Amino acid sequence: MNEIMKKKDIKSLNLIELTEEMKKIGEKSFRAKQIYDWIHVKLADSFSEMNNLPKPLRETLEENYTLVYLKKEAEQISKTDGTRKYLFELYDGNVVESVWMKYHHGNSVCISSQVGCRMGCKFCASTLDGLERSLEPSEMLDQIYRIQKLTGERVSNIVVMGTGEPLDNYENLLKFLELISNEDGLHISQRNITVSTCGIVPNMKKLADEALQITLALSLHATTDEKRKLLMPIANRYSLTELIDACQYYFHKTGRRITFEYALVGGVNDTDQDANELITLIRQVNCHVNLIPVNPIAERDYVESDRSHILNFKNKLEKNKINVTIRREMGRDIDGACGQLRRRHRKE
C-alpha cells in the first residue's frame, strides 16, 4: 500500500471523530473545530497553511494524518456550453473524472463514486474494464473541493452520476453525504444532491431508512424484465416489481419524489409500446422522468433515438400527466459520457 494511506485519512472524519482524535493526541477539543474548518470550509491543501494552529500541532498532524488531495491531470472545456470535465489523479495513481456544469440555478458537479464499475451496463463506458476500487469519502469530497478552487465558483448542486455505482460503495457514500451537507462544512443542501443507482434494491431501502433529504434517481432504461436484462445485468438480481416497490418505499420514508432515468436507445426502447409500458409501470409512483438520448460509445453499437422518437415519447408521458424532461446534453464535444475521458487517458 502507498505510504500516505497508512496514515489516517483526516478528510474522511466527521467533527465528532476528529474531536476524538484530538483527545487521543492530548489536544483541546476546540482544535478539532479549527482543523475541520480548514479542511472543509477553507479547503486547505496542506497542514502547513493552517496558520492558527501551533507549529508542533501542525507537525503532529503531518506525521499522523494524510490530507487527501486530488491532482488535476487534465481539463477539457466545452466550447458550446462551458461545461468542464476534469480528470483527477488519486494517491495510488488511479484516475477519476468529474464534470462541472453551469446552470441558471447554480453550478452543479457530477462526481464519481468508484474507480471503474462492476455493474456491466451494456451502453456505459465506465464498466468496460470492471471495478478497480471504491472511493473513500475524502476522495468524493475532494472532487468538489478541487473544482470549487479551480473555478473559483461555489458549487450548489451535486449529482453522484459519474463513474461507479454509489450503492455499491454504501458506507463511504453515506459518510460523504454527511460531510458535504453538514453545516460545519460546505453545507450543500441535501435537497440539491442526487444519487443515481442502477437499482441495488436492499441498499435503496437502507438509504430510505436513513431518512435523508437527497433525491434518489433510478436508472430504469427498460419497461420489461426481459429487455432490462439485455441492457443491465443487475436486472437478473432484482425484478422491476421489486425495484418499483423500493422506489415507493423511498418516497414514503423520505417524502422525496423519485427520478427515473431513461436512456433512449434507437430501436431498442424508444417505441410507442415502450412509452405505454413505462406509463403503466410508474403510474403509481410520485416521480419525475428524465429522458436521456443515449450517448453512443465506440465500443458498443447502440445508436441514439432520432429527435422525433424522443419528442413523441415525451409527449406520450406528458399526456398521461407524468413529469418529464429531456436531459440537456452538455459537454458532448468533450467526451461527456461516463467514463469516456478516463478510458481515453488510460489508452494513451
Apex 145 CA angle, 187 and 115, nearest 5: 115
Residue 216 corresponds to which cell in the numbers above?
A: 434518489
Cell 409527449 sits on residue: 315
- Within residues 19-78, the interface with ligand SAH by CB under 6 A covers none
Closer residue to ligand SAH, CB minimum distance, 8 or 122? 122
- DSSP 8-state code for residue 161: -
Identify whether 117 is a catalytic site residue.
no
Q: Which of 134, 197, 223, 259 binds ligand SAH (CB under 6 A)?
A: 197
- Within residues 207-246, the interface with ligand SAH by CB under 6 A covers 219
Closer residue to ligand SAH, CB minimum distance, 66 or 172? 172
Closer residue to ligand SAH, CB minimum distance, 39 or 292? 292
Identify whether 124 is a catalytic site residue.
no
The alpha carbon torsion through 304, 308, 314, 320 (nearest 10 deg) reads -140
Q: Which of 97, 261, 274, 335 binds ligand SAH (CB under 6 A)?
A: 261
Q: Does 193 bind ligand SAH (CB under 6 A)?
A: no
How far is Cα 58 from Cα 56, in angstroms, rounded to an integer? 5
Q: Which of 53, 70, 121, 287 binds ligand SAH (CB under 6 A)?
A: 121
Q: Does 268 bind ligand SAH (CB under 6 A)?
A: no
Please count the residues of this chain forming the interface with ligand SAH, following the rule CB under 6 A: 18
Q: Which of the residues 27, 97, 136, 304 is marked catalytic?
A: 97
Q: Which of the residues 121, 198, 247, 338 is marked catalytic?
A: 338
CB 262 within 8 A of CB 278: yes
Q: Which of 44, 161, 275, 282 binds ligand SAH (CB under 6 A)?
A: 161
Q: How far apart are the first and last CA of the chain?
A: 25
How far is Cα 138 from Cα 44, in angstroms, rounded to an integer? 13
How far is Cα 9 from Cα 11, in angstroms, rounded to an integer? 6
DSSP string, 86-119: EEEE-TTS-EEEEEEEEETTEEEEE--SEEE-SS
Q: Which of 83, 337, 342, 343 binds ligand SAH (CB under 6 A)?
A: 337
- Closest by alpha carbon to 150, among 234, 51, 74? 74
Q: Which of 204, 294, 310, 334 binds ligand SAH (CB under 6 A)?
A: 294
Q: Which window, 70-78, 120-128, 178-186, 252-260, contacts ligand SAH (CB under 6 A)?
A: 120-128
Residue 239 corresponds to which cell in the numbers above?
A: 425484478
State in angstroms the smallest separation of the CB of 340 from ligand SAH: 8
How far is Cα 101 from Cα 103, in angstroms, rounded to an integer? 6
Q: Does 292 bind ligand SAH (CB under 6 A)?
A: yes
Cell 481539463 sits on residue: 75
Which residues bind to ligand SAH, rule: CB under 6 A? 119, 121, 123-124, 161, 165, 196-198, 219, 261, 263, 292, 294-295, 297, 337-338
Residues with catalytic function: 97, 338
